[in-house]
Amino acid sequence: MTQDLAIGIDIGGTGIKGAVVDLASGELVSPRRKVATPEGGRPADIVEAASTLLEEFSESGGDGLPLGVCFPAVVKRGLTLSAANVSHEWIGLHAEELFEQALGRDIHFINDADAAGVAELRYGAARGADGLVILTTLGTGIGSAFLYDGVLVPNTELGHLELDGDDAEHRAAYSAMEREDLDWAEWAKRLQRYYAHLEMLFSPDLFVVGGGVSKHHEQFLPLLELTTPIVPAVHRNNAGILGAASLAAD
């Protein structure tokens, strides 16, 4: 890495947050700033909100720093090929180019779960891990990142694996626990089915579980019976910021 600092911006369905990151330590060296995601999540509105957020960092010395942006979509060569909790206008859009034109600078543009995986690889629970690490984020859906011997394999979308005739995330995401008023043990049975299926398909060396619910990991991870070690993520809400910033400086 040629820079000591970079900016990461994490675009979500409800909020857009960002910070300046120390790339050596993985620590935030500015306040984490946040603006609401515009209602409807349309491209022009989100780009404008991200630009407003970036101006706050420019005013505090962030001009010229590498900039990474992560987004809730499959991202392939700068195109967004899906849309989770944002407008379907993003599907098939040259999103990286749209951001670069509006912000007047180069960016690194990546899927949000992949950014979280890179954060855990470089600064968190997957640091130093050999073989295949699968990170999953348990939230409204299930995001995923494949990390093999320290290399990201992007856009895995393991929440959309078909399991028992449905998308796995419809039954096993944290939103399902809330929607159906499940207790921890009931939800853990669904997670057991999901992670055992991933084990059968991929034979991973480590699972890392992220998303906001991972702060309650002691309530559900000990209930799982897996061959693969499974551990909570370290960075949770900051993971997208850290991963996007780190990749921007590569």
DSSP string for 146-174 = EEETTEEE----GGG-EETTEEHHHHHSH
> What residues are paired with 70 via a beta bridge?
10, 110
Indicate the average pLDDT of the chain: 95
- The segment(s) of the chain belonging to CATH 3.30.420.40 are 5-114+238-248, 128-233
Model pLDDT, residue 1: 40
Task: Give pLDDT tens digits for 109-135.
Answer: 999 999 999 999 999 999 999 999 999
CATH number of 128-233: 3.30.420.40
Task: Give pLDDT tens digits for 139-178.
Answer: 989 999 999 999 999 999 999 999 999 999 999 999 999 9
Per the confidence metrics, is the pTM higher than 0.85? yes
Task: Give pLDDT tens digits for 193-218.
Answer: 999 999 999 999 999 999 989 999 99
Helix axes 95-103, 43-59, angle to 10 degrees: 40
The pair of three-digit structure tokens given for residue 200, joined into one six-digit string: 């059968």
Q: What is the residue type of 78?
A: G
The mean pLDDT of 1-14, rounded to a whole number, is 84
Radius of gyration of the chain (CA): 18
The pair of three-digit structure tokens given for residue 165, joined into one six-digit string: 């005739």
CATH number of 5-114+238-248: 3.30.420.40
Sheet with 151-153, side-by-side order of all strands: 151-153, 142-148, 132-138, 206-210, 230-232
Residue matched to tokens 């309530």: 219
